[in-house]
Amino acid sequence: MTSDDLLARHRAVLPSWMPLYYAEPLELVAGSGRRVTDAAGRTYLDFFGGVLTTMVGHDIPEIREAVEQQLRTGLVHTSTLYLIRQQVELAEKIARLSGIPDARVFFTNSGTEANEAALLVATNHRRSHQILAVRNSYHGRSYATMGVTGNRGWSASALNPLQVAWLHSGERLRGLLARLDAADRVDAAVEDLREVLATQTAGDVACLIAEPVQGVGGFVHGPDGLFAAWKKVLDEHGILLISDEVQTGWGRTGEHFWGYQAHGVTPDLLTFAKGIGNGFALAGVVGRAEVLESVPAISFSTFGGNPVSTAAGNAVLDYLLDHDLQGNAARVGAILGDGLRAAVAGLDEVAEVRGKGLMLAVEFVHPGTVEPDAALTTRVFEACRAGGLLVGKGGLYGNVIRMGPPLTLTEDEAREGLAIMADAIRASIEA
Ligand code: PLP
């Protein structure tokens, strides 16, 4: 069966709202390190890692061995109603790394479920359904998590089951705070929070949920320190802060292990997913015992924290720490980021190269404006593929190229990808 046949069958049986990348959708059949191979035998450098998920790389022996060892026991799944050694060990490690005092960890299968659990905990703890969320955010595909997603392409706001009030993200390119310097943007975002609390809520708000760097939104972030400034106000009202670390956790930003650390404050709840399983379904929520214990009914997850996922999670975390992948993200990310900035210098079609560590984005606009140029972005995206480089595309207006390669990316691979990207941008602008 060819990939074309597969595409026809895909379209006949899977929902049309499930997007597929590329004009000619890609079928990947193998992976190794930072490279993947398609059904026609062509190899690509993978700068997207299955949406920042293949954090350590494809087919890494230590992780394969840990999973195979678990499979060899014959126990792929035991109910989480039994004791699971790997689950306890992983929870201990994550609790210690989380920075949250007296932490408890609840494992789920996806970032959506992790955020759903965090919202459930926060609303029950505070006995309130009012939630603060951030414009241009993305938190998942369930009813509640879509309700706190501030990106129309991904949300169901007309059917929102929650009472949500929206905050400015503190970003600098567009909107009310555009062109303010970082300190003024923090002050303005805090003023915005106070005003939203006073005018758009009944006062008894449960929580604020926010991404330290907005992933799906196009790797947009407010100034460092914003969460700390927000939290001062939140603490005056007893409102909990949830840091959605689904994309920013595990050292991806290079400078810190968690995204929230750039903001100089510890959240009340932290959610994680994506990279920790390196492809196996593993996610969860961490919070102080006093907060996380607020779920009123018995609750457990059939698959969350299962032996295979948590075996993978332990191996991934050990690999990450043993090989200082956060340090590698900082080092190689700087090469990639500086190289991208040099490659686009003087191009009026690029509004900015931004991001941290190995979470980097290029935003395309009509020259001399901040008007998004989604068509140019699509040309760059397709040209990267044609050159042998897989990247992500996104942002609120579909005009951002996103790069989130495995954190094991080497300097040579960074330079190789950079050259493909620079050619793709030049050719797409000229086209
Ligand atoms: N939160 C953030 C910041 C995300 O980027 C995503 C997915 O992209 C999610 C939550 C949802 O995670 P999942 O797709 O594992 O449900």
What ranges in 127-211 are assigned the alpha helix state H?
143-147, 182-200
Residue 213: give its domain's CATH number.
3.40.640.10
Which of 288, 322, 356 is the endpoint of a domain? 322
Looking at the fold, whether 274 and 366 belong to one and the same domain comes out as no
Half-sphere exposure of 202 (CA within 13 A, CB side): 7
Number of domains in the chain: 2
Q: For the sheet with 389-390, list strands across it.
A: 28-32, 35-38, 43-46, 389-390
Looking at the fold, whether 171 and 200 belong to one and the same domain comes out as yes
Report how far ligand 1's centroid is from the alpha carbon of 53 (Å).
10
Please check whether residue 207 is in contact with residue 131, taking contact to mean a CB–CB distance below 8 angstroms: yes
CB-ligand 1 contact for 216 (6 Å cutoff) = yes
CB-ligand 1 contact for 170 (6 Å cutoff) = no
**Tens-digit pLDDT profile for residues 225-261:** 999 999 999 999 999 999 999 999 999 999 999 999 9
Q: How far apart are CA 280 and CA 210, in angstroms?
A: 25
pLDDT of 36:
98
CB-ligand 1 contact for 245 (6 Å cutoff) = no
Can you tell me which atom of ligand 1 is nearest the CA of 140? Answer: 11
Looking at the fold, whether 272 and 419 belong to one and the same domain comes out as no
**Which residue's CA lies nearest to atom 10 of ligand 1?**
139
Which of 265, 295, 322 is the endpoint of a domain? 322
Q: Is the pLDDT of residue 158 over 70?
A: no
Q: How far apart are CA 382 and CA 416, in angstroms?
A: 17
pLDDT category at 416 given cuts 50, 70, 90 is very high
Identify the residue with better confidence: 330 or 1.
330
Residue 382: give its domain's CATH number.
3.90.1150.10
Identify the residue with better confidence: 79 or 330.
330
Residue 9 token pair: 């069958």
CB-ligand 1 contact for 247 (6 Å cutoff) = yes
**Tens-digit pLDDT profile for residues 98-141:** 999 999 999 999 999 999 999 999 999 999 999 999 999 999 99
User: What does pTM read for this prediction?
Assistant: 0.97
**Which residue's CA lies nearest to atom 1 of ligand 1?**
139
pLDDT of 298:
81
pLDDT category at 68 given cuts 50, 70, 90 is very high
Among 112, 269, 270, the mutation site with the greatest number of ligand 1 atoms within 8 A of its Cβ is: 112
CB-ligand 1 contact for 215 (6 Å cutoff) = yes
User: What's the mean pLDDT when you consider all of the chain?
Assistant: 95
Among 116, 139, 272, the mutation site with the greatest number of ligand 1 atoms within 8 A of its Cβ is: 139
Averaged pLDDT for residues 411-420: 98
pLDDT of 178:
86
pLDDT category at 157 given cuts 50, 70, 90 is low
Tally DSSP H helices, then E strands, for the chain: 13, 15
Distances (CA, A) of 212 to 257, 259, 350: 12, 5, 23
Looking at the fold, whether 97 and 189 belong to one and the same domain comes out as yes
Looking at the fold, whether 137 and 229 belong to one and the same domain comes out as yes
- Taking alpha carbons only, the member of 304, 212, 196, 321 closest to residue 267 is 212
**Tens-digit pLDDT profile for residues 376-411:** 999 999 999 999 999 999 999 999 999 999 999 999
Which of 307, 322, 337 is the endpoint of a domain? 322
Looking at the fold, whether 408 and 334 belong to one and the same domain comes out as yes
Looking at the fold, whether 208 and 314 belong to one and the same domain comes out as yes
Q: Tell me, what amino acid is at 383?
A: A
pLDDT of 174:
86
Per-position b or e across 343-359, b if 16+ CB within 10 A of its CB: bbeeeebbbebbbbbbb
CB-ligand 1 contact for 246 (6 Å cutoff) = yes
Strands 207-210 and 103-108: unpaired
Looking at the fold, whether 316 and 174 belong to one and the same domain comes out as yes
Domain range for residue 256?
Answer: 65-322
CB-ligand 1 contact for 273 (6 Å cutoff) = yes
Grouping H, G, I as helix, E, B as strand and the rest as coil, residue 82 is: coil
Can you tell me which atom of ligand 1 is nearest the CA of 112? Answer: 16
Q: How far apart are CA 251 and CA 247, in angstroms?
A: 10
